[in-house]
Structure 1
């Protein structure tokens, strides 16, 4: 009888531990690149979250005896923590989308195939996001993500809550970093657009009767596509380096 009670207590503690790990992992996976995309069915995302839970749970410390209020409090903290760690990676995808939007606007390609993605974005943004996620998956994103989730418990143990002021500072720092990354990735297109418009203005000044917009439109379109073809490998390499940096130090801007 005592053995049965001990076994029941042990199973209950293990189930509670798995639940707490699942709350953090599930919240994070819902925002992760590749694993949390809108195009994936909800059941696939749930399965991915369960698999990562089984991988991460043995590497995390267990919980003692908790009452109902403690379970609710710790569960809410775990969901918030999972969203923070998931958002740190999701912002990198938004950086690629922003870079694609800037590049498309600069090269007059923003309306070509603009609705082909689950989230409305120009064709350049869709190509960059799909290529970046594919590159990350090919280079072992699933392994990196598992390590990332395990590392999150070393940074913020179960039940830890980030102070609101620190979380605000961290969020502002991450958003600023992502915008800087997006502008850096799109800078060749912005520079090319500036040179093109300056040249177009000079030609128009010299030959007012020439419809320079119609003459120059094919050049900026071809130039934008050429820059995408030639610069995409370097852009994706820089983005992947930023992804690895975030995976190794997700709370780098946290005070």
Structure 2
């Protein structure tokens, strides 16, 4: 093989490796924050394998786009930093949907006196209702094809945030604030049945206490609110978790523009 041919082969190999590295920098960062795949309960090797798998799936479709990026050591260093920032921003947007389940579980537990049922045995300290909602939501998402939606979301991200360029800080901050507001609204919607039940319970308890001051309503009300909360969780979870999944799917189909 002649020297020019060898040089051309080496250049093509180097460009291909750099394209794969750029894809992995964004996809790998995003995958570490992805619901289900980025959970702390998932072993690090599994998370790394998932990130490599996503990068391998997307690389053939993104290689022509990566080939248009300018070469040079300084330019490539900036491109790598931009891809990490883009993956981090896009991953955090998705990670907030898990926070929505945590917020809903905390609100539900605080309103129904179940906040300290399991103590701090979970990886992330959360009430029992929150853990049930989180595990149920993640299981529902995984069974509904989260890996396919995630691959589409990663591919769509290159249209929203072009490769090799740092996102606009002002636009990113505005999108982040809107997403935080959306997540807390979603958490309140998911916890609404428990908040309404707690309101009715406390009003009823107050009326009974005024009508019969000698009756120890606390001894009667505590088991009632605990049993009622568990029954309400059993009845409402199959209805609430699809709402959360629909909000997650909506955001992944139209990032920064979907509502809860």
- The aligned counterpart of 1:116 is 121
Matched residue pairs, number?
Answer: 253
- The aligned counterpart of 2:75 is 70
Contact 1:101 1:122 in 2 (8 A): yes
- The aligned counterpart of 2:241 is 236
Distance 1:237 1:138 in 2: 12
Contact 2:35 2:138 in 1 (8 A): yes
Contact 1:13 1:65 in 2 (8 A): no
Contact 1:101 1:124 in 2 (8 A): yes
Distance 1:153 1:233 in 2: 35
- The aligned counterpart of 2:29 is 27
Q: Which runs of 5+ in 2 are unaligned?
A: none
CA deviation profile, 1:149-200 (whole Å, cap 9, x unmatched): 0111121121122221111111110000000000001001001001111111
Distance 2:83 2:70 in 1: 17
Please identify runs of 4+ aligned residues in structure 1 that moved more than 6 A.
none
Q: Which runs of 5+ in 1 are unaligned?
A: none
1:117 Cα offset (Å): 2.2
Distance 2:188 2:225 in 1: 19
Distance 2:45 2:27 in 1: 15
- The aligned counterpart of 1:85 is 90
1:251 Cα offset (Å): 2.2
Alignment match of 1:36 (pick from 35, 38, 43):
38
Give the secondary-structure state (helix, strand or coil) at the position aligned to 1:121: coil
Alignment match of 1:222 (pick from 213, 221, 227):
227
Q: Does 1:176 align with 2:181?
A: yes
C-alpha root-mean-square deviation of aligned residues, in Å?
A: 1.2
Distance 1:153 1:165 in 2: 19
Contact 2:179 2:256 in 1 (8 A): no
Q: Does 1:205 align with 2:188?
A: no
* Length-normalised TM-score, structure 1: 0.96
- The aligned counterpart of 2:112 is 107
Contact 2:104 2:187 in 1 (8 A): yes
Alignment match of 2:53 (pick from 51, 54, 57):
51
Distance 1:88 1:114 in 2: 28
Distance 1:135 1:174 in 2: 22
* Length-normalised TM-score, structure 2: 0.94
1:65 Cα offset (Å): 5.0
